[in-house]
Amino acid sequence: MKLAQSGSQPHPNEEIRLYMRDHRRTLHRSPEVGLELPNTHAHIAKALEQLGLDVEHRPSSGVTARVAGTDSTVRPVILRADMDALPVQEKTGEPFSSENEGVSHACGHDLHMATLLGLARDLVANPPLRDVIVVFQPGEETDRGAVPTLEHQNLQIIEADTYAIHVNSALTLGTVNYRFGTFMAFGDWFSIDINGVGGHASAPERVGNPIRLGSQFFAGMIELAIGLSRDGEKAVATVTEFQSGNTVNVIPAAGRLRGTIRATSEEVRTELIDGMREIIGLEHRDMQAHLEIMQGYPAVVADDRALQTLISVLAQGQLAESLVQMPEPSMVIEDYSYFLQKWPGAMVYVGAQAELNPSFNHSADARFHEDAMDTGFTLFRTIVDADPRVFTT
């Protein structure tokens, strides 16, 4: 497998690096949550229009643009970046920290957008052999934003390859972390509603306590998930919200737990849900409990041939020493899985750890080293510049 000749070097030049940095910091200061993202959509659309690209901008469902290649007979490659932030108050101390109260790019999507903008600028200046569709998608975190984004006219393509990166603040800076088969887990959300009668705080023996019962549920779910993590499989059950009570001297009548479950296979996912229903369905004194499962995202599963091609191509270039094979799937979930159900491709983690900061994505103090954008750019440009025939054989 050989790399195609190109007018550019895979590594970003200083002009592109500054371009990516400036966009990253602007986007980082003004994060938005969900599907709407009016300012983020506008920022991305304007940047692409300034590059002279024909932009497809759909409010609440993303921004796409096609960068024309020099050979229209070759099937295109689709590269995707997510756009949404999290409802997390930033505590990184960065000079370009979020200016929106209670919202931050704690998952690094600002780096994804800036990297893809930098790539688009370089592709316009140094056209690739095949067409490249750059995709900026909202609502990745919990809104299944990939689904409406895939309705873009630019994405009504039968034959294509697709790739994406995700920065990881806990992995060594500059590494490209990959895995054949399941890369990221199946994921669902759940809620548990507990209802009773409540009572006097001085007499806990007289009535059931939804706080105690909810805590027992959580402990049981953790034990269940641990028991299902065997033979190379893994399960996770996490409560992220527990609401109950409003004063110090009354046992509350009701409580509500919400959270997420993760599994590395459909079989383990089914076992986890069945086990939770069994736990919740037991007799609970004078209280009733109801479990609701909200279907989440399919697993992110690499096309093994596409991933092997990617690794072989990267092994010949500047990222040869950066490749790290992951021993097990990540328990993160990602709606890029819907892209991979349409076209062959893969997602990889790009290590973005900043100065040995141990905090993982979604933490209030998670920091992402901006040099990770160089790695992402190099990876994308290497894919684009590779002989397209290696992706079809």
CATH of the domain at 215: 3.30.70.360
380 in a domain, yes or no?
Answer: yes
Q: Which of 247, 280, 297 is the last residue of a domain?
A: 297
Measured distance CA(6)–CA(303) in Å, rounded: 26
Measured distance CA(66)–CA(207) in Å, rounded: 64
Measured distance CA(313)–CA(383) in Å, rounded: 7
* Beta carbons of 77 and 383 less than 8 angstroms apart: yes
Q: Which residues of 333-368 are buried (b: 16+ CB within 10 A; e: fewer)?
A: bbbbbbbbeebbbbbbbbbbbbeebebebebeebbb
Q: Are residues 166 and 33 in the same domain?
A: yes
Q: Are residues 292 and 305 in the same domain?
A: no
Q: Are residues 179 and 190 in the same domain?
A: no
The DSSP bridge pattern shows strands 55-57 and 323-325 to be: unpaired
Q: Are residues 204 and 292 in the same domain?
A: yes
Q: Are residues 159 and 258 in the same domain?
A: no
Q: Are residues 42 and 168 in the same domain?
A: yes
Q: What is the pLDDT of residues 202-218, one digit of tens each?
A: 999 999 999 999 999 99
Measured distance CA(188)–CA(333) in Å, rounded: 9
- Domain span at residue 252? 186-297
7 in a domain, yes or no?
Answer: no
Q: Are residues 216 and 291 in the same domain?
A: yes
The DSSP bridge pattern shows strands 235-244 and 186-195 to be: unpaired
Q: Which of 257, 273, 297 is the last residue of a domain?
A: 297
**81: CATH:** 3.40.630.10
The DSSP bridge pattern shows strands 182-184 and 250-251 to be: unpaired
312 in a domain, yes or no?
Answer: yes
6 in a domain, yes or no?
Answer: no
Q: Are residues 198 and 287 in the same domain?
A: yes
Q: What is the pLDDT of residue 390?
A: 76
Measured distance CA(386)–CA(313) in Å, rounded: 7
156 in a domain, yes or no?
Answer: yes
8 in a domain, yes or no?
Answer: no
Q: Are residues 358 and 313 in the same domain?
A: yes
Q: What is the pLDDT of residues 300-313, one digit of tens each?
A: 999 999 999 999 99
Q: What is the pLDDT of residue 224?
A: 98
Q: What is the pLDDT of residue 5?
A: 44
Q: What is the pLDDT of residue 60?
A: 94
9 in a domain, yes or no?
Answer: no
Report how many domains make up the chain: 2
Q: Which of 259, 275, 297 is the last residue of a domain?
A: 297
Measured distance CA(201)–CA(211) in Å, rounded: 12
Per-residue pLDDT of the chain (393 residues; tens, 9 = 90+): 444 444 445 889 999 999 999 999 999 999 999 999 999 999 999 999 999 999 999 999 999 999 999 998 999 999 999 999 999 999 999 999 999 999 999 999 999 999 999 999 999 999 999 999 999 999 999 999 999 999 999 999 999 999 999 999 999 999 999 999 999 999 999 999 999 999 999 999 999 999 999 999 999 999 999 999 998 899 999 999 999 999 999 999 999 999 999 999 999 999 999 999 999 998 888 999 999 999 999 999 999 999 999 999 999 999 999 999 999 999 999 999 999 999 999 999 999 999 878 899 999 999 999 999 999 999 999 999 998 777 765
Nearest Cα neighbor of 116 from 381, 296, 368, 388 is 381
Q: Are residues 313 and 344 in the same domain?
A: yes
Q: What is the pLDDT of residue 392?
A: 65
User: Which tokens go with 264?
Assistant: 């590395």
Q: Are residues 254 and 384 in the same domain?
A: no
Q: What is the pLDDT of residue 393?
A: 58
Q: Are residues 284 and 328 in the same domain?
A: no
Residue 5 DSSP one-character state: P
- Classify residue 143 as exposed, middle or buried by CB count within 10 Å of its CB (0-12, 13-18, 19+): middle
Q: What is the pLDDT of residue 136?
A: 98
Q: What is the pLDDT of residue 3?
A: 46
4 in a domain, yes or no?
Answer: no
* Beta carbons of 339 and 162 less than 8 angstroms apart: yes
Beta strands in the chain (DSSP E): 55-57, 63-67, 77-82, 132-137, 161-168, 176-178, 182-184, 186-195, 199-200, 235-244, 250-251, 254-263, 288-297, 300-301, 323-325, 345-351
